[in-house]
Amino acid sequence: MSLKTKFLLTLTALGCLLIAQKTDGRPQPHGDANGPNDVLSNLDSIFKVGPGMKVFGTRPSGVHPNEVTDQNDDDADIICAERTAGQSYCTEVPNYLESSQLDKIDPQQFEQFSSYFKDDFMQPLNVTNRMNEEAEENFCNSKSRIIYPKSVETKESKWVLVVQHERHRQGVLVEQCEAEGSSCKYEDLMPFGVSSKCKQHYVYRSLIVLVNGVLVERMVKLPNYCECVLRFNLKRKF
């Protein structure tokens, strides 16, 4: 059975379960908070929703856990193209060498964090194995690559300079959506009331950064994977 066929069957079952949640148009005095969970439980009992696809109910509007709300004045001078575009890192920072003053850092500081100065491992493409595997298809296109960020957003939502200098480089493997916010593949096959979009997810990891001219370890925010998410609204009008 092809991936497209499985996807269509999953959405058909989802539509049937949503319709079955209400049998009349009478207003209910108390909302059933378990309604969305019951739907998801029933769906899980029929189909396995694997990596790259996630189903969740519509929630009241609010601040997303990953949404930055604090304003930091002390990092306002770190201005770069990717940050302006909404990314969590920048590969180029104007006047980076002058701002970082890495040439004046004590060599012992670099030695202290020597284990960090390397590239992440990127799995090479094995054409032979790919030909022997069952054909797979992602619902959202993404791209994986090694980057050398010179500035990045920390876990505390502050922007700092990352140590990238001569032999002391930190190569980071990231995966990014090619069209974040766009509809997933097979959008036209979804039941009425169900929509999809490609969503970028992030991970926090340790990098060596500069704070007041000193090398320190900080948890920073970097793109991790791209996922197709489905959103449905349980409210129906009669």
- Please tell me the least confidently modeled range out of 9-18, 55-64, 192-201: 55-64
Half-sphere exposure of 7 (CA within 13 A, CB side): 21
Tokens 């959405």 found at: 11
Segment 11-22 shows an average pLDDT of 53
Q: Which pair of tokens denotes residue 120?
A: 């992440």
The pTM score is 0.65
Contacts of 164 (CB under 8 A, 6+ apart): 96, 148, 149, 150, 170
Type and span of the H or E element at 234: none
Q: Which two tokens stand for residue 20?
A: 């079955």
Find out whether 222 and 89 touch, Cβ atoms under 8 Å: yes
List the helix and strand counts (H, then E) for the chain: 6, 8
Tell me the mean pLDDT in the region 13-35: 46
Q: Please choose, from the candidates 237, 235, 236, 234, the residue with its C-alpha nearest in 3D space to the C-alpha of residue 38.
A: 234
Query: Please, what is the Cα angle at 234 between 230 and 238, to 5 degrees?
Result: 135
Averaged pLDDT, 64-93: 70
Strand duo 151-153 + 159-162: pairing: antiparallel
Could you tell me how many residues make up the chain? 238
Do residues 55 and 40 make contact, with C-beta atoms less than 8 angstroms apart? yes
Q: What is the pLDDT of residues 148-198, one digit of tens each?
A: 999 999 999 999 999 998 889 999 999 999 999 999 998 888 888 889 999
Which domains, and CATH codes, for the chain?
3-59+72-232 (2.10.90.10)
